[in-house]
Amino acid sequence: MSMNMLLAISTVFTLIAVVFVFTMKRHLRRGKVLRASGSFASGVVCAAIGGAGIVLFFSVFSYARLTEEIVVASIEFNRTAPEQYTARLMIDGRLDQLLPMQGDEWQIDARVVTWKPPATILGLDPIYRLERLSGRYTDVERERSEPRTVHSLAADRRLDIWNIAKSYPMFTPGVDAYYGTATYVPMADGARYEVSLSRDALIARPVNDAARDAVGDWQHNGT
């Protein structure tokens, strides 16, 4: 089912709710309180369904569809000082971002929304939105004392399906909202990585010699 179909169904339920409101008023004028109560209850249910569908429709537009493992970003590092870098973040459809980073390693996070029954009846694809880019120090003591780097990659939205699902799970059955997080990998001068997202994981892969050498040295030192 397309998002246009979802909007159409939500609009129909909203219009039905309006009809029930007028029906309730007519029953009240005629003194039929029991029938008015029934119309009110039916209107509330239809309004809730229609409202939820409309909120879902508009909030989903801040996310991208996830149908298989796809490359969601590329990132390249330029060292400006010891343990200080400028990260060039490249995302299709956006202007490149130049972001200062501190530390030895970097990580990118995403918000991911998948569907389970009863929402699967809508036939919607999983959706995602890149959330933040962060850096850290390999040494634990430095991680505790040195300044951290965290950059937000998405604007806050009040009508956000991920926030609604996390805050009100009882009212969003069938919506599974969670963080997708790539493992920390090393920063290095000239290193370039591609970030891929599958339905359950973010993966950062080195794509040039500087990145492959950095990952090789980092893995060797960690063993």
Residue 70 and residue 43 share a domain: no
Above 70 in pLDDT, residue 166? yes
Q: Which of 154, 151, 156 is nearest to 99 (CA)?
A: 151
Mean pLDDT, residues 127-139 = 89
User: What number is the average pLDDT over the span 38-42?
Assistant: 67
Q: Are 127 and 214 in contact (CB under 8 A)?
A: no
Please check whether residues 53 and 148 belong to one and the same domain: no
Which of 94-98, 109-113, 117-121, 147-151 is the least confident region? 117-121
Predicted pLDDT of residue 137: 92
Largest Cα–Cα distance of the chain, in whole Å? 83
Is the domain of 113 the same as that of 175? Answer: yes
CA atoms within 13 A on the CB side of 10: 18
Predicted pLDDT of residue 86: 96
Distance, CA of 119 to CA of 53 (rounded, Å): 11
End-of-domain residue from the set 20, 39, 60: 60
Contacts of residue 80, defined as CB under 8 A and 6 or more positions apart, other chains included, come to: 86, 100
Check pLDDT > 60 for residue 146.
yes
pLDDT at 138 over 60: yes
Same domain assignment for residues 73 and 54? no
The reply to whether 86 and 144 lie within a common domain is yes
Specify the length of the chain in residues. Answer: 223
129 and 82 in a single domain? The answer is yes
Say if residue 72 is in the same domain as residue 118. yes
Q: Please list the residues that pair with 81 across neighbouring strands.
A: 84
pLDDT at 90 over 70: yes
pLDDT at 9 over 60: no
Is a pLDDT exceeding 50 seen at residue 223?
A: no
When divided into structural domains, the chain yields a total of 2
User: In terms of residue numbers, what domain contains 120?
Assistant: 64-222
Same domain, 73 and 167: yes
Residue 28: pLDDT over 80: no
Confidence of residue 2 (pLDDT cuts 50, 70, 90): very low
pLDDT value at 125 more than 70: yes
Q: What pLDDT sits at residue 176?
A: 80
The CA–CA distances, whole Å, from 189 to 1, 31, 87, 138, 222 equal 46, 79, 10, 17, 20
Could you tell me which residue, 73 or 15, shows the higher pLDDT?
Answer: 73
Q: Please, are residues 111 and 128 in contact by the beta-carbon 8 Å criterion?
A: yes
Q: What confidence tier does 122 reach under pLDDT thresholds 50, 70, 90? A: low
Output the pLDDT for position 18. Answer: 63
At which of 42, 60, 78 does a domain end?
60
Please determine, for residue 24, whether its predicted confidence score (pLDDT) is greater than 70: no
- C-alpha distances (whole Å) from 176 to each of 73, 120, 121, 155 are 23, 11, 14, 21
36, 138: one domain: no
